[in-house]
Each structure stands twice: as structure tokens, then as C-alpha cells.
Structure 1
Amino acid sequence: MSLDLTFLGTGSAYPSPHRGASALVLRSEGECWLFDCGEGTQTQLMRSPLKASRITKIFISHLHGDHLFGLPGLLCTVSLNSSPTQPPSCVDIYGPQGLRRFLRVSLELSASQLLFPFAVHELEPTADQCPPEGLLNPLVTQSSEWLHPQERPGTTIQMDTQSDLYVLFEEKQFTVKAFRLYHRIPSFGFCVQEQERPGRLNAQLLNELGLKPGPQYGLLKAGQAVTLANGRIVRPCDVLDPPVPGRKVCIFGDCASLVGEGGIKACQGADVLVHEATLADEHRERALEHGHSTPSTAAGVALACKTHRLVLYHFSQRYKPLGLQKEGDEDDVLELKRQAEDALRGTDIEVIVSEDFLTLPIPIKKLQ
């Protein structure tokens, strides 16, 4: 099964001619999951090979505008371009408390009707995810029982105190969890864990047992035992190689640090860890003041998580994409990469600088 990440916007604060606002898509078998939706995301989608109509799930890390303002417009555009006879299925949207009310008010005041249903699932933040002034008044975040005409009831997800994580959902192919981050307002990261795959059937052993390719192969592959003509019972563990571990992708929202141990535990061994690096290390104090990270901060998280690849994103608009940099430019995006690599010297962790429209394939794991 193919799996890849496409970065639609890699800039912070606002969209510019050089970098779009925060947005990236995790694509699997044609289905697209959108992470953050800054202003202009729908235009970036149109410039990419992705199809907005394939978006079935949306994850919003926090309620700052450069991660959120594109969402109402994107939903409306998807609706306008949908076929009335074959509209998209229900779109599930996950994000912090307040997201439900934001969407309801935006769609209601603009008299926006959609051709498909949506449901908003809110994560309850904790008080230690931001400074006291960053906590929204409950009167602002609370939502009424009134639903938008196309809205389906969503869930309110609380943190599991034992794991220090939010379990968003678990399905046949993936389990998705969220973890807490520290920012100027409550922010979250997301861990997408692919389920492990059954190992390959040992064809030689099956042949020795007298089993030929056919329905019984399928039963064993599906985890069921089969009974041979001589009465012998063959169990999957007898003829299957060890299972193939699933891939893991972790995407961090804006943050100066993690809150609790849940994020580090959830992201252990991640194939790809996407982490913001808004400003270079020499601007660390300014980054912290605004609740952001530097390349060394991101590298420290990657090291603690023992990830394989660290992807830097959410750059200040002062850092131009590689193709637009000129000799003598004071702010060099490659310097951010060098700083992360210096912090990871002596490890096998690869550092990647994201750019708008970069697509990063995530290959299937192979057994050693």
C-alpha cells in the first residue's frame, strides 16, 4: 500500500508568494488526510496533483489563523466541485475545543450549504499547554446543541491519563492518536500508526505439508487455522514469517516543547517526524517568546523519539525556498538544516527541509 506526504504550505504566520500557510496531506491508496488548513490551502491543492474531493479526514493542530483560516473555504470549494449524485462521504474533522463553534459560525454567517456531511471531534486541552492568557474563555469555545444542516454530531475526546494521549480512532489500516504541545494557545501533534501486516507464507513448508495455493492459503494469511486431510491442524504461526511492522508518521503542530510524556512515547521509532523550525538557533529566545521551535529543538525531539527522518517545516517567511534564494541572502533555509544536522551528528537520522509541493514517499518496512 502506497503512503506519502505532500507539503502544501511550509510557511508560518501568513501565506506569501514564496510559501503557503501550514498544510500537508498524508495520502494512502488515493484517500487523503489533511493536516492543518491555513489560508490559501485550496489554491495550493489546485496547484498540486492531489484532489480535494479525496479528503476524508482533517486534523487541525491549533486555532491560530495560519493553520485554520482556509478550512471553511476549502469545505465550500469541495462542495461546489462535487457531483450532486456522488457527493463525498462524511468528512471527519479533529481539533481543539472551539473548532466546532468556529465552523458553525463561519458556515452559518456566510449562508454556506455543503453537499456532504461533516462531523467535528474536539480534543479537550489541559491548562499546562499554554500560558494562562492563551486559554480561551469557555463561553467562547462552548458550542450549542444547534447543528449546521450538514453537520453530524461529533465527539469530545478527553486525554487518557494513563497513556497521556488522545485516541482519535482505530480502524483496520491505521490508529491515530494526538498528544499535547506547548504553544501560545493549546496545540496538538498527531501520530498515525499503520497496523502491522501478516508475514509472508512459507511456500516451501506449505508444500511439504501438502497444501497447495488456494482458499486455505487465504485462511492462514487471515490468521485462521486450517485442518489437513490427515487431521493435522496448521496454525498461522506455523507457516507465516514474522509480521511486518506498520509505518509511523508523526506531525507536530506549533510548539516550543512537548507537554507530558505521551508524545515521546507515541512517536518512538517514527519513520517520519514533521516538526516546526520557525527560526534559526540564533533566534532561540525570540522563538520561545512566541511559542516556537528552532532546528536544534526539533532535532532534540527527533533524537528522543529515535525517528528515522526529521522533516523541518513552518519556516518564518524570511527564509525563502531554495529555488528563490540569491547569493548573499542573509537568511538561508539550508542553515536551518545544518543546525539540525549538527545537533544530530553521530546518528543515522536524516534531516529534510520541506518545500511547498514536496512529496515524500514512505516505503513499506522490511524485516531485518
Structure 2
Amino acid sequence: MSPRELIVLGTASQVPTRYRNQNGYLLCWDDQGLLFDPGEGTQRQFLLAGVAASAITRICLTHFHGDHCLGVPGIVQRLSLDGVAHRVVAHYPASGREFFARLRHAAVFHEVADLREEPVAGDGTVASGPFGCLEARRLDHPVESVGYRLVEPDGRRMLPERLTWFGIGGPRVGQLQRAGHLEVGGRTVTLAEVSAPRPRQRFAFVMDTRLCEAAFALAEGVDMLVIESTFLGPDADLAATYGHLTAAQAARVATECGVRRLVLTHFSQRYDDPVRFHDEAAEVFDGDIVVATDLARIPVPARR
């Protein structure tokens, strides 16, 4: 099973800088690759990160400001150029259907990839499967913007000592997991007797927004929260005006929601010292804080 990690492709906001590409985040979640908000230059960042377009299984856009979507044309065309064989699903606010259509067909190319559009029409589940449940909620931004939350299914952890006690091993373990029970030596052994509940892992992605109920709902109890912190405290008025968060406000969400790892990103080009974001957040949140940098690989915390 592949590691669950976030590959950071870009961390700038409105414009890129010498050291920060525009947005782009690939969440590797077992056999899934969820590409969030590919901004300009994302295709090249994939190359620098050593990741192939075939890693993408879903494209999740929060909204249609350029720094969150202008990389879509290159990514869509790359899927066809590389002959990606599996279906890729695109989620985005339903109000932006026209914008996505323009991005998808921004230039002439031979489209052979299987790209399916599944717009987000309201709060709730947008996809589910063995990977878990992908949810979306509308945020508070001048244009329609949604955040995403991924929660894996309930699971169980096998207890080796209990399996040994009942004399169960090899392929029979899989049989027990699939059926929920197994006949052993004239008695029925249930899955509950040889396993324990496995804590679900949760991930949330919250971009352009003011503080709002939806941001807290998405972040509730997650192992990793990737959240915008465009501004610092002294510019809180600007943040409110343009529909953004400060580092302290992002940290407040993490604190009140019991987040384990807080990943700050989407930094305004007006700031040149990333340490300031960490220091401001640390005054509010005493957990694990990561100030995202381009091409970083940030693991989802191991289960509790």
C-alpha cells in the first residue's frame, strides 16, 4: 500500500514568486491521487516532484480564481498525452461549469483520456468508494468556493495473538475478514474476537474563505488540515475584505477542531519570511504545524 502523503506542488496565492509556484496539492491516499487546485505551472511541478500524471484519479477545484485553476488545461491535456488509462473524475462548484468547459478545451488537442465531470451542487458527499467518503461544503469567499473532507471507511485491526490463539493463519485470515466469521475446530470464530476497531483517518482541504461554520465542520477531528493562511494578523482587515484567513485564524480552526497536523499554505507575496506564519499560528495552536514549501512531501499522521 502506498504511503498517505501530501505532495505540495505550489504554495503561492495570487501570483507566483521566485520560490513559490501557484497552488497545487496532490494527496496520495492508497491507490488514489487527489489533485487539489492546480494553478499555473502545475504540470512542470509534477515533473520536479517526480510524479506522473497517471497518479491522478480525481481533480478537486475549490473555486475558479486563476491561482486555483489555471493549471487545469495542462493537466487535462497531459492525461491524454500520457495515455492515462483509468477514469479521472473532476469535482468543482457547479456554478462554474462554463469556466471548467473553457479550461478543459482551452487549446486544440486529441482528447483520449476518460475525464468525467461531477460538479458539486451543494453540501454533502460527492464521492465514495473503498478509499472512503469525499465530502464538500460551501465556504465564505466573494465567489462560490467549496472545501473538501476525506474520511476513510470504518475498519478493524487484526490482533496476531488472538489469531494464533484460535489457530488461524495464512489465507484463512483473509477469508475471515471477508466473511466476518470462520469455522475453526468445530466452533465459529467471529471477526470481532480476533480484531479491534481501527481509527479512521481524516483529511481536510480548506482554501479561500473567511472564518465560517463550514471551515470548522470540514476540519473537525481530522488528522491533517491543509488550510489557507494568506495573511498575518496585522493585515486581518485585508483578509476579511478579500475573503481570506490569517495564520492565527487558521490555527484557531485547528485548535477548536482537534486537528493533529496543521499545514499552512497559500501565502501572499507581500511576506518574505515564512517563519512568521509558524510563529503566529503557534500562539494559538500547540500541535504539529507545517509551513508548506513547494515540492515538500508531508505524511498524513499515523493512526493514533
Establish whether TM, by shorter chain, passes 0.5.
Answer: yes
Partner residue of 1:352? 290
Listed as ranges, the gaps of 5+ residues in structure 2 are none
From the superposition, tell whether residues 68 and 108 of structure 1 become closer, same or farther in structure 2 (CA, over 3 Å).
closer
> Are positions 1:179 and 2:140 aligned together?
no
Decide which of 244, 252, 255 is 2:198's aligned counterpart.
Answer: 244
Decide which of 274, 278, 303 is 1:333's aligned counterpart.
Answer: 274
Answer yes or no: is the 8 Å Cα contact 2:155–2:199 preserved in 1: yes
Answer yes or no: is the 8 Å Cα contact 1:178–1:188 preserved in 2: yes
Pairwise CA distance, 1:107: 4.2
Partner residue of 2:220? 268
Decide which of 147, 150, 162 is 1:189's aligned counterpart.
Answer: 147
Decide which of 259, 271, 283 is 1:307's aligned counterpart.
Answer: 259
Partner residue of 1:141? none
Structure 1 length normalisation: TM-score? 0.77
> Are positions 1:26 and 2:27 aligned together?
yes
Answer yes or no: is the 8 Å Cα contact 1:179–1:190 preserved in 2: yes
Deviation digits for residues 57-94 of structure 1 (CA, Å, limit 9, x no counterpart): 010001111101110122113322x14xxx33221000
Q: How does 1:196-211 map to 2 (within 5 A)?
A: 196-203=154-161, 205-209=162-166, 211=167
Pairwise CA distance, 1:50: 1.4
> Are positions 1:287 and 2:239 aligned together?
yes
> Are positions 1:221 and 2:177 aligned together?
yes
> Are positions 1:90 and 2:87 aligned together?
yes
* Stretch deviating more after TM superposition (220-229 or 297-306): 220-229
Equivalent residue letter for 2:233: D
Equivalent residue letter for 2:201: R
2: CA distance, partners of 1:278 / 1:106: 25
Pairwise CA distance, 1:169: 1.1
1: CA distance, partners of 2:182 / 2:86: 38
Answer yes or no: is the 8 Å Cα contact 2:201–2:223 preserved in 1: yes
Pairwise CA distance, 1:31: 3.8
Runs of at least 4 residues of structure 1 off by over 6 A?
none
Partner residue of 2:283? 342
Equivalent residue letter for 1:239: V
Report the structure number with the largest CA radius of gyration. Answer: 1
Say which SS state the counterpart of residue 104 (structure 1) adopts: helix
* Stretch deviating more after TM superposition (194-203 or 246-255): 194-203
Pairwise CA distance, 1:351: 1.5
Answer yes or no: is the 8 Å Cα contact 2:155–2:200 preserved in 1: yes
2: CA distance, partners of 1:170 / 1:30: 14
Pairwise CA distance, 1:223: 4.9
Decide which of 207, 214, 221 is 1:253's aligned counterpart.
Answer: 207
2: CA distance, partners of 1:247 / 1:37: 24
Q: How does 1:31-46 map to 2 (within 5 A)?
A: 31-46=32-47
From the superposition, tell whether residues 220 and 201 of structure 1 become closer, same or farther in structure 2 (CA, over 3 Å).
farther
